[in-house]
């Protein structure tokens, strides 16, 4: 032990100075107590002769923290320095006294503020973000330093300074672990605090970084609900995590939220917070997020809260609430998919090729049809035969033209097969059988003609046969137009995942805001992403900052995939009202819309009512789009003043 004392000699403080600072440990200077002893407030003379206010933790051996824990905390706090970890100023180890001297956090610990009315939702978010930053640093400090597993994360171990900055306390029970590994397991004697301790750790004795994540999730729900994780009501112990597990699946979390902060909450902020907090409590370690991702989602929740007001883009660009009065969708051509060329019913995908001269349709008809766009708009006939017709073995879900090779188009089908077709030879030239269930989506890279990505019901996303296993069905995948390494994934679990395929261990960003499956994702630019969901909304996201930009509502979409396409600042999607809608990205309401007529006058009202617009696609060089519906009707529409 002498080598440790020598190494940290510069931090040693004489017992006499500490007794003087605390008036010989007077009760009036005691500001806290716990399972280690007592904490005192005092004034010490700094090395530069200035007096500073400090917190002094006086360890009591009978409470279990002895020499190993004492020196471990000195070592840890000397090595791991971060603005969200409490700073060690010194220590005393003489006359059987073991005292740790910390920077003083004037607002003391978080647990004393949980049910304070003056602690706003915004402040609570910032405190949680600060604590998450500190814990994320301990888990991945960078460089050659080892990972630190705290083992006792709780609200009383999170201090608050005068500016409400959170600082993690008490590393005496922590453990070193190998860094830069996805999974770290240590077999240890179980320590921690009742209510916060990971049940899996208690059962197995296996300590992981996910054990800290679980404890942090408990703290998040304490902050949200304004109560400690274990409470005594009418002589009965009540577990907050037990209540959360009961109310969350029933979508009744509002019954648990601290009533005094409800009115000031942005709904998307609350949704993001609850979602990530509940993920922390997952039984399966694999389903718990990394602290870096907890931090990212909490920062998104704060962004939601701070962006509660409407985006100012509309005013800056000169758009007004009556802008929709000056736009309409004009029909310039119609194509009836008749039995003459064996096409029928739902068109699930419609796509222009790279120079907008050809477009392709596909769906439940088990064939890909290629049309000449110029012929369609210049010849006055509704019933046209395709230039090329390619039969397929299964119903098709999605098409994607190669952005560089005019005659190549990819399809994904209901059997999970992705096929690359040569339009000239009308033959499939390559097949990928990586999915074992329906493949919903396929997309060629904008930059690399040989790269494509697909996703489907088997929870797998494939990129040039790189397999990313997801926790839910994948509905849509798209390459970022500026990178062949970055992809967006729309999932049935309501989230959008943004990956760098060079490191698939965890997504770069997770976008939270939809209430149901994310059916489509599309990039407006390298930095801006649009998404569509069966919650009847479109969302815009800033990819680089992981923040929401706008939510667009007006169309109806609850059951079917109705398409999504973007052109400059305009977005188009279908609707289950058999209409196609156009939005401007700065406006939350539709700019204009167009209704498809019923083809068969003998159809019943029920049949007509079930029609919906199923696919849309803008041309790249003009405000002109293709739109198709569940009857196989295709229209060319132009957005005109």
Transcribe 162-224 into DSSP letters. TT--EEE---TT-EEE-SS-S---EE----S-TTTS-HHHHHH-EE-HHHHHHHHHHHHHHHH
For the sheet with 88-94, list strands across it. Answer: 30-34, 37-45, 51-59, 97-103, 88-94
- Alpha-helical segments (H) within 328-457: 373-378
Q: Rounded to whole angstroms, how far apart are CA atoms 365 and 7?
A: 77
Whether residue 95 contacts residue 46, with contact meaning beta carbons closer than 8 Å, is answered with no
Q: Rounded to whole angstroms, how far apart are CA atoms 439 and 431?
A: 13
Task: Name the E strands within 516-632.
Answer: 518-523, 528-533, 537-542, 547-553, 564-567, 570-574, 579-584, 592-595, 613-618, 624-629
User: Is residue 1 exposed (0-12), middle (13-18) or buried (19+ Cβ within 10 Å)?
Assistant: exposed
Gap between the terminal Cα atoms of the chain: 82
Whether residue 481 contacts residue 465, with contact meaning beta carbons closer than 8 Å, is answered with no
Q: Rounded to whole angstroms, how far apart are CA atoms 369 and 380?
A: 20
Count CB atoms within 10 A of the CB of residue 391.
Answer: 10
Angle at CA of residue 356, ends 488 and 584, nearest 5°: 55
* SS3 sequence of 394-405: CCEEEEEECCCC
- What does the DSSP 8-state code read for residue 19? H
Q: Rounded to whole angstroms, how far apart are CA atoms 239 and 156?
A: 17
* Residue 57 labelled as part of a binding site: yes
Q: Rounded to whole angstroms, how far apart are CA atoms 510 and 452?
A: 22
Count CB atoms within 10 A of the CB of residue 494.
Answer: 20
Cα-Cα-Cα-Cα dihedral sign, residues 556, 559, 562, 566: positive
Cα dist from 397 to 422, 491, 520, whole Å: 18, 15, 12
Helix (H) or strand (E) segment spanning residue 419: strand 418-422
User: Is residue 431 exposed (0-12), middle (13-18) or buried (19+ Cβ within 10 Å)?
Assistant: exposed
Closest to 74 (Cα-Cα) out of 155, 154, 6, 165: 6
Cα dist from 62 to 25, 191, 494, whole Å: 18, 16, 51
Q: Rounded to whole angstroms, how far apart are CA atoms 261 and 259?
A: 6
Binding-site sequence positions:
57
Binding-site sequence positions for ATP:
57
């Amino acid at each position: 032990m002498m080598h440790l004392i020598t190494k940290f000699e510069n931090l040693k403080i004489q017992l006499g100075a500490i007794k003087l600072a605390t008036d010989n440990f007077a009760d009036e200077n005691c500001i806290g107590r716990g399972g280690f002893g007592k904490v005192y407030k005092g004034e010490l003379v700094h090395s530069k002769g200035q007096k500073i206010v400090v917190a002094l933790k006086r360890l009591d051996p009978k409470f279990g923290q002895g020499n190993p824990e004492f020196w471990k905390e000195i070592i840890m706090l000397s090595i791991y320095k971060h603005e969200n970890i409490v700073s060690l100023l010194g220590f005393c180890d003489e006359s059987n006294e073991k005292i740790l001297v910390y920077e003083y956090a004037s607002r003391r610990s978080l647990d004393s503020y949980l049910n304070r009315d003056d602690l706003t939702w915004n402040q609570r978010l910032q405190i949680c973000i600060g604590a998450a930053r500190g814990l994320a640093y301990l888990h991945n400090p960078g460089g050659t330093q080892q990972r630190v597993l705290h083992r006792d994360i709780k609200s009383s171990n999170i201090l608050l300074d005068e500016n409400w900055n959170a600082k993690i306390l008490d590393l005496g029970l922590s453990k070193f672990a190998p860094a830069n590994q996805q999974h770290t397991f240590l077999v240890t004697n179980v320590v921690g605090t009742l209510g916060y301790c990971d049940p899996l750790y208690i059962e197995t004795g296996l300590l992981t970084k996910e054990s800290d994540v679980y404890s942090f999730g408990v703290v998040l729900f304490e902050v949200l609900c304004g109560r400690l994780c274990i409470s005594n009501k009418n002589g009965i112990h009540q577990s907050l995590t037990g209540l959360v597990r009961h109310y969350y699946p029933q979508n009744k979390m509002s019954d648990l939220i601290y009533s005094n902060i409800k009115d000031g909450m942005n709904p998307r902020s609350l949704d993001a917070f609850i979602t990530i907090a509940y993920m922390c409590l997952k039984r399966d370690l694999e389903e718990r997020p990394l602290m870096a991702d907890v931090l990212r989602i909490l920062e998104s929740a704060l962004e939601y809260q701070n962006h509660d007001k409407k985006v100012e883009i509309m005013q800056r660009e000169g758009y007004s609430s009556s802008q929709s009065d000056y736009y309409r969708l004009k029909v310039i051509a119609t194509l009836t998919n008749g039995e003459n060329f064996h096409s029928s019913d739902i068109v699930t995908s419609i796509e222009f090729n790279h120079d907008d001269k050809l477009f392709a349709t596909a769906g439940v008809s088990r064939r890909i049809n290629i049309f000449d766009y110029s012929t369609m708009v210049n010849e006055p006939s509704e019933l046209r035969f395709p230039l090329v017709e390619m039969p397929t073995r299964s119903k098709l879900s999605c098409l994607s033209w190669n952005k560089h090779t005019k005659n190549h188009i990819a399809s994904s089908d209901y059997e999970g097969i992705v096929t690359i077709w040569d339009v000239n030879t009308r033959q499939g030239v390559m097949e990928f059988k990586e999915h074992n269930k329906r493949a919903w989506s396929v997309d060629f890279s904008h930059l690399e003609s040989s790269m494509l990505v697909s996703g489907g019901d088997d929870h797998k996303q494939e990129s040039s046969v790189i397999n990313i296993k997801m926790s839910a069905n994948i509905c849509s995948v798209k390459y970022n137009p500026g990178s062949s390494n970055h992809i967006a994934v729309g999932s049935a679990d309501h989230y959008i995942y943004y990956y760098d395929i060079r490191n698939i261990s965890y997504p770069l960003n997770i976008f939270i805001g939809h209430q149901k499956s994310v059916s489509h994702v599309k990039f407006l630019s390298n930095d801006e992403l649009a998404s569509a969901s069966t919650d009847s909304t479109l969302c815009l996201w800033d990819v680089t900052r992981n923040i929401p930009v706008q939510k667009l509502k007006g169309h109806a979409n609850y059951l079917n995939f109705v398409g999504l396409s973007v052109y400059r600042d305009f977005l188009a999607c279908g609707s289950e009202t058999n209409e196609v809608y156009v939005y401007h990205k700065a406006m939350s309401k539709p700019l204009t819309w167009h209704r498809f007529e019923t083809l068969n006058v003998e159809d019943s009202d029920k049949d007509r009512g079930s029609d919906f617009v199923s696919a849309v696609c803008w041309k790249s060089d003009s405000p002109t789009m293709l739109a198709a519906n569940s009857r196989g009707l295709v229209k060319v529409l132009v957005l005109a003043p």
